[in-house]
Amino acid sequence: MIGDAQTTKKLAKANFEAWAGTYDHSLMNHFLFLPSCYTFLEELAGWQADRKGSFDLLDIGCGTGTFAAMLSGSNLRTGCIVGLDYAMEMCRRAQHKASSLASDPRVRFLHGDSEHLPFEDCSFDVVTCANSFHHYPQQQSVVCEMRRVLRPGGRLMIIDGFRDNVIGWVVFDVIIATYEKSVYHAPWTVMRSYFESAGFENITHRKFNLVFPAQGKLRRDLPDARQPQRVCSRETGRASNRLCPLLCLCVGY
Ligand SMILES: C[S@@+](CC[C@H](N)C(=O)[O-])C[C@H]1O[C@@H](n2cnc3c(N)ncnc32)[C@H](O)[C@@H]1O
């Protein structure tokens, strides 16, 4: 799929160890990663509206822990929030961010590999993974691991590059793949087969644009994540060929 697994992971680790210091100030963070956090908050607000009680959440490939910090500051009813990342420096910065914003004992960060999650079966109600999945050389194994640590009735949410149209193909398969080297943005049909093979069902997805006109408004609305804002078109059924480079996939079992 994307070459030798160990080499691929080492390369990603080295890139992100080096990037961690400037990551939060990068354009990519502004235009891709932050909007992904808002999208997860929106999805979670909708999901929790139909449920009682709090949820425990694992964020895989958590980077500098921005999403965990936003979530802990939101009005969503959360239990523990765990961020996991393969780059030590990302975890260190995530921990620093969490303790400088508000030392919330529910939030912690671990160094680890998405392929071997250091948790018992059925440990979380929600697993999130934003902009990280394309770095995983064994993607089917990771989806099975995600399913293993989820409790029945739980939800997996993945956001990654949508490369099933010409723009997406150029952005992700040509430009990003050249820059990041060993990465694989799976087509929608492949993602669906991963979920089905792992035993997930109830698959929904949203596509959204690179530039988010509503981003400023959303930021002002935080931390009340229970006011869902429309940041992107929502579609159900199948991915269509619009010029939209990111895809948010939600599945459960
Ligand atoms: C582009 S960043 C996204 C960070 C964060 N989710 C966000 O949206 O800001 C990708 C992250 O995935 C992490 N990563 C890459 N390979 C990983 C692996 N095998 N296991 C866990 N994390 C991994 C990287 O270290 C990096 O922090």
Residue-wise pLDDT tens digits, 11-67: 899 999 999 999 999 988 877 788 888 889 989 999 999 899 999 999 999 999 999
179 alpha-carbon distance from chain centroid: 20
Quote the pTM value. 0.88
Whole-angstrom Cα distance, residue 88 to residue 154?
A: 28
Whole-angstrom Cα distance, residue 117 to residue 100?
A: 27
Place of tokens 């078109």: 233
122 Ramachandran zone, left/alpha/beta (phi>0; psi -120 to 50): left
Domain 5-252 = CATH 3.30.1280.10: no
Task: List pocket residues of ligand 1, CB cut-off 6 Å.
Answer: 9, 12, 16, 33, 36, 60-63, 66, 85-87, 90, 113-114, 130-132, 135-136
Q: How far does the centroid of ligand 1 lie from the alpha carbon of residue 85, in Å?
A: 6
Q: How far does the centroid of ligand 1 lie from the alpha carbon of residue 136, in Å?
A: 9
Domain ranges within the chain, ordered by starting residue: 5-252
Whole-angstrom Cα distance, residue 202 to residue 28?
A: 31
Q: Quick: pLDDT tens for 195-239.
A: 999 999 888 888 775 554 443 333 333 333 333 333 333 433 232
